[in-house]
Amino acid sequence: MKALPLLKIAAVLASLTFAAGVTAQATESSGTTAATAASAPSSSSESLGQHIDDGTVTTKVKAALMTAKDVKSTHVHVKTRRGIVWLTGTVPTRDEKTRAEQVAAGVSGVHEVKNRLKVRASQ
């Protein structure tokens, strides 16, 4: 049973490493669809400092969700723009949807949470 905590730690470290690489880039490719642009944040008007800060917030939220015992975060996607965090994806219960929002809101640097999670029973 020690493998699960080690797996979570490895996933958090991988997420941090990935976020560090992403935030080092000053620009982002613009291949988004109209539906994606309407529901998720865009970085076209962000400064480099905002982009790095948002990347840090995203990483902190992902890490907090992965370590939260009462949230199955494997299907939760996090995007941040100017301190506003968008949660998308699926969770098995309404309680987990609420809890994911609470966890995200508790992270420093988060000004607002847009909870777009859908509740779907796990298969």
* Residue-wise pLDDT tens digits, 6-19: 666 766 666 666 65
φ, ψ (nearest 5 deg) of residue 88:
-130, 165
* pLDDT tops 60 at residue 26: no
Domain 3-24+47-119 in CATH 2.20.28? The answer is: no
pLDDT digits (tens, 9 = 90+) for 79-104: 999 999 999 999 999 999 999 999 99
φ, ψ (nearest 5 deg) of residue 86:
-105, 125
DSSP state of 120: -
Q: Where are the domains of the chain?
A: 3-24+47-119
Q: Is 0.85 topped by the overall pTM?
A: no
Dihedral class, residue 2 (left if φ above 0, else alpha if ψ from -120 to 50, else beta)? alpha
Contact 80, 113 (CB under 8 A): no
